[in-house]
Structure 1
Amino acid sequence: MSRRQPAKRVLRAVLYLRISDLTDTSTSIPRQEKAGCRKAEDVDAKVVEVYKDEDKSGYHEYVKRPGFDAALDALRDGRADVLIVFKVDRATRQGIPQAAEIIRIVYMTGCRFISIMDGIDSANEGWELQLTIAAHQAHKESKNTADRVGDLRRNERDAGRWMGHRPYGFRVTPERKLELHPEEAETIRVIAARVLDGETLRSVARWLNLQGYDSPRWASRKERIKQLESKGEPLKVQKLREKPMKSPNSWSWPVIRRLLTSPTMAGYLPHKGEIYRHAETGEMVRVGPEILSFADYSQLRAMFGHPVPVHWTRAAIPGGRSKDTKRPIRGLLADFLYCGECGSRMEYDTTFSRNGSPVPRYRCKRRSMGGRCPGVLMYAHNAEDLVAAAVLSRIGALEPDDPSLLAIAQRWADQAEPDAAARRAELEGLIQEEERFLERLEDEKLNGLFKGQRGEARFRRRYQASNDRLEQYEKELAGLPSQQSVNIGFIDEIESLAKSVSHLVDR
């Protein structure tokens, strides 16, 4: 009798496929899948699942890749014996840390990892080193690309060219400039007029929804679909139609606030929420025509906690705390100076003394902590005197309607009327707190914490009471002296201003 041969175990393989930018003419995904199936046959494995991530970056950590996570879970749960990728850079471009996770899973489960184009197979000796080197190289390639793109974007910003998605109220020309979208621009003007007349953002949002205006996100999607249809790209049209909206087609008060405070409303190029200034000249860069006058735009910014456009302020008097870092301010230039060698913050140091008296200095914080930096060091009085002289010279050359001059005037007025300034800051904080509370209430209601008639009644009472307080705060804030009507007559008192600045420096 012949002995029965034991059945040969069939390996279960999963394929992982990824492409960063899927287009109608792209063949990358089919080619990756074909090569993966062929490799599975070579190692006597059966493909049981194919995981894909389309239009997903493998470099940025904030990008979620459900296909890659599912492929790794299949290995962890024992539902697969082999993971096959076309190339390591398809699996990851995040460098050695993510490669180490793949190695850990292979060690823990005994599964097999194969990268076709790199010739990596965990069944071979030294595959860990091969994977680590390939992952590092993939990360470096992406980083170099990101650096080149960053440099390109800086040049494009200096030239005043638009690089993002179409902003509401505008169309993007082939030269990457902005031109007005007549209907949407008129909608923005109506919104601004109602807000400047004293209506709350919430009431304006309700009115827009009742009138049936498309929200900015929805309007941009409709415009994009029209463009893709005219270009004959049905795959992208289908993907865009199927992509879920993060929020419904409705206006909300945060949308209106972001819209009205965007520099594009005044025709300027935005960057990190402010008007972009040319890297060499420091001039504000225009990107298209204005929808709102600069005066209206400035007033709107002031209403929402920005005293003057493109002007960053903080509690600069030593003895207070920075509004941004919350650290105590001991020197006038704290939070503003950075090391010219390594880019670290310059700290205010009073430990050095000469003839028994302390000599304040600004020094590189990395250097002081033992970091690898030759360090930058300067005496505090020299740096502060230089900045004070430059500020006074600049003030004397400003036009009466210059935004910087208006900001200085506001600070001057706040010193003259500290009670009004303190109340304004207090009201702005109360308004922000009430808005956060209303957002929490809305989230809790969506999560089902207010159930039944009693829960609904309790939600309404709390929501209405908070909304009443919010409107009361906004009304009182609107009744305070307008920040844009401050007196700039101090420009004729430069000597007094110089003494004031000198007093701060001496402190």
Structure 2
Amino acid sequence: MQDKPQVRAAIYCRISLARIGDTVKVDEQELVCRRLAHAKGWAVSPEHVYVDNAVSAWKHTVRRKGWEAMLDAIRRGELDAIIVYHGDRLIRQPWDLEILLRLAQAGTLLASPTGERDLGNPDDQFVLRIEAAVAKREVDNTSRRMRAKFDRLAEQGISRLGGRGGRAYGFEPDGLRVRDTDAIVIREAAGRVLAGEPMGAIVRDLNQRGVTTVTGAPWTHGSLKKVLTKPRMAGLLSHNGTIVGPAAWPAILDRETWEAVCSVLAHKASAYDYASNARRYLLSGIARCGPCGQPLAVRLHSKGRQLTGYGCITPGCRKTHRAMHHLDEYVIGATLALLGDEEVRKRMQPVAADTGPLVAELHKVSARLEQTLAEFADDDDLGPDVLRLTVPRLKKRIAELRTQIAAAQVPTVLDGLWGINRDGWDGLGLHRQRAAVGALLRITIRPSRKRGPGFDPSTVELKPA
């Protein structure tokens, strides 16, 4: 009598987040499944263990890579059975079950410690569909209860913290007390944004200093922008994307500063053409060639820094080249001299536009929006029409005011640099140094008739910006 072939089984493990009740870790799930496979005499090869760690199965838009890989193996005919810790680890939505049933052949088994089903058997399919419908109802009920909870919290001026770091950046885990070390970083970053410094430069500086997000990850352009533009930073409560009033926690940034930061970041406004985060050298793109007028580029030399310099790379010209270490030192000296000149400071002091009326109107329109939402949200008779007509108009005006505030901002990278010495200069980031040089000087390099080592300052033309 021919031996029955051994069942080829897959193990599927998934956990979303412990805070919603999923407390059995995927490695523990796998151990339970392996014991079950051993008891049944089924074979599980290493490539047929599929894991989706910290992935929800509630939303059909969320990709489960382990789930998709397992389906591919079923399509290829590599599996006779699937083992799971519990059915809801595999299926939380009816469409998941239908996909699985469509791919499975008669005799394909689904096993867990609570029992076994044949995916090709109509009676088992009927039971599985009922279980999937019950799971979907549980998801919908949980979602409804959570939304109601967050609505009640919003009415009290409290919002959920969100994220996986256990707290909102800038605040303690209770969400109500400010964490001072974070607040210092937020205020510093906001000030640097309003001073015209590129976000990329700020992010790199924070990462180089070892400042991290709440999860311990390095900052990115997106994560820093998200933190700075959160209404929470201004002590405001946002519900469903709309500011609904003052929150129960203190502000880290005052309302005017926060609005200005949001406006600048939303429109990427910059008053200077040197605010590029792609530069690695002090004068590249700033110093220009005298004969052709084009910006000089860095020309590296394999034999060392002494031969690396700024040179013209324009076809038909290429007449200018200066050693980097000589030209940098010369320009730094001139820059520090100007930063110590009180007359230059008075002449370059920016005259900022008065944004007070714009900010005042912004507060007024925002308050009107908050009042409208609060007054008509529960009015079944007039509410839908009032909100449909009024809310878009108020939001449009808020967007217009933020655009005007951003345009009125007068960033200056020279704030805090007047009277700086060489030690202070060396402590600045490269982008801040480049910004200061570009704000103070127009640099033109003329061809030198002198050959050999040395530096001829007569070929360097420095004019006030």
Conserved 8 A contact 2:107-2:118? no
Decide whether aligned partners of structure 1 residues 256 and 142 sit closer, same or farther in structure 2, where only a CA change above 3 A counts. closer
Identity value in percent: 27
Ranges in structure 1 where 5+ consecutive residues have no aligned partner? 223-244, 278-283, 314-336, 347-375, 392-403, 415-419, 426-467, 473-507
Conserved 8 A contact 2:10-2:79? yes
Residue 103 (structure 1) shift: 0.8
- Paired residue total: 299
- Residue 170 of structure 2 is matched in structure 1 by 169
Residue 102 (structure 1) shift: 0.8
Residue 56 (structure 1) shift: 2.9
> Structure 2: which amino acid aligns with 1:137?
V
Conserved 8 A contact 2:81-2:111? no
- Bigger RCO of structures 1 and 2 (CA < 8 A, at least 6 apart): 2
Q: Deviations over 1:7-36 (max 9, x none)?
A: 33222122223333459x955757755664
Decide whether aligned partners of structure 1 residues 178 and 250 sit closer, same or farther in structure 2, where only a CA change above 3 A counts. same
Decide whether aligned partners of structure 1 residues 136 and 188 sit closer, same or farther in structure 2, where only a CA change above 3 A counts. same
Decide whether aligned partners of structure 1 residues 99 and 186 sit closer, same or farther in structure 2, where only a CA change above 3 A counts. same
- Residue 194 of structure 1 is matched in structure 2 by 192
Alignment of 1:251-330 (within 5 A): 252=221, 254-271=222-239, 274-275=242-243, 277=244, 284-305=245-266
- Residue 10 of structure 1 is matched in structure 2 by 6
Decide whether aligned partners of structure 1 residues 178 and 126 sit closer, same or farther in structure 2, where only a CA change above 3 A counts. same
Conserved 8 A contact 2:187-2:253? yes
2:215 is equivalent to residue 221 of structure 1: yes
> Structure 2: which amino acid aligns with 1:158?
E
Ranges in structure 2 where 5+ consecutive residues have no aligned partner? 268-357, 367-375, 409-434, 440-465
Decide whether aligned partners of structure 1 residues 305 and 114 sit closer, same or farther in structure 2, where only a CA change above 3 A counts. closer
- Residue 52 of structure 1 is matched in structure 2 by 51
- Residue 80 of structure 2 is matched in structure 1 by 81
Decide whether aligned partners of structure 1 residues 303 and 206 sit closer, same or farther in structure 2, where only a CA change above 3 A counts. same
Conserved 8 A contact 2:50-2:69? yes
Residue 298 (structure 1) shift: 2.5
- Residue 180 of structure 1 is matched in structure 2 by 178
Q: Deviations over 1:104-163 (max 9, x none)?
A: 1114xx550324436532364422222222212111111111111111122122223342
Decide whether aligned partners of structure 1 residues 262 and 387 sit closer, same or farther in structure 2, where only a CA change above 3 A counts. closer
| Cα distance between partner residues in 2 of 1:409 and 1:78 | 56
Residue 214 (structure 1) shift: 1.2
| Cα distance between partner residues in 2 of 1:22 and 1:69 | 23
DSSP 3-state at the match of 2:246: coil
Decide whether aligned partners of structure 1 residues 340 and 46 sit closer, same or farther in structure 2, where only a CA change above 3 A counts. farther
Decide whether aligned partners of structure 1 residues 288 and 82 sit closer, same or farther in structure 2, where only a CA change above 3 A counts. same
- Residue 157 of structure 1 is matched in structure 2 by 154
DSSP 3-state at the match of 1:302: helix
Conserved 8 A contact 1:75-1:111? no
| Cα distance between partner residues in 2 of 1:406 and 1:126 | 57
DSSP 3-state at the match of 2:98: helix
Decide whether aligned partners of structure 1 residues 15 and 301 sit closer, same or farther in structure 2, where only a CA change above 3 A counts. closer
Conserved 8 A contact 1:162-1:178? no
> Structure 2: which amino acid aligns with 1:291?
I
2:25 is equivalent to residue 64 of structure 1: no
| Cα distance between partner residues in 1 of 2:234 and 2:204 | 25
- Residue 450 of structure 2 is matched in structure 1 by none
Conserved 8 A contact 2:57-2:92? yes
Residue 93 (structure 1) shift: 0.6
Decide whether aligned partners of structure 1 residues 91 and 287 sit closer, same or farther in structure 2, where only a CA change above 3 A counts. same
Residue 259 (structure 1) shift: 3.1
- Residue 342 of structure 2 is matched in structure 1 by none
Larger radius of gyration: 2
- Residue 337 of structure 2 is matched in structure 1 by none
Residue 206 (structure 1) shift: 5.2
Q: Deviations over 1:81-111 (max 9, x none)?
A: 112334432211122x21111111114xx55
Q: Deviations over 1:311-356 (max 9, x none)?
A: 999xxxxxxxxxxxxxxxxxxxxxxx999889xxx9xxxxxxxxxx
Residue 44 (structure 1) shift: 5.2
Decide whether aligned partners of structure 1 residues 112 and 42 sit closer, same or farther in structure 2, where only a CA change above 3 A counts. farther
- Residue 20 of structure 1 is matched in structure 2 by 16
Decide whether aligned partners of structure 1 residues 154 and 260 sit closer, same or farther in structure 2, where only a CA change above 3 A counts. same
| Cα distance between partner residues in 1 of 2:188 and 2:390 | 43
Alignment of 1:456-495 (within 5 A): none
Conserved 8 A contact 1:264-1:287? no
| Cα distance between partner residues in 2 of 1:39 and 1:197 | 63
- Residue 280 of structure 1 is matched in structure 2 by none
TM-score, normalised to structure 2, is 0.52
| Cα distance between partner residues in 2 of 1:125 and 1:312 | 61
TM-score, normalised to structure 1, is 0.48
| Cα distance between partner residues in 2 of 1:31 and 1:184 | 36
Decide whether aligned partners of structure 1 residues 20 and 169 sit closer, same or farther in structure 2, where only a CA change above 3 A counts. closer
| Cα distance between partner residues in 2 of 1:250 and 1:30 | 30
Alignment of 1:116-135 (within 5 A): 116=112, 117=114, 119-122=116-119, 124-135=121-132
Conserved 8 A contact 1:263-1:274? no
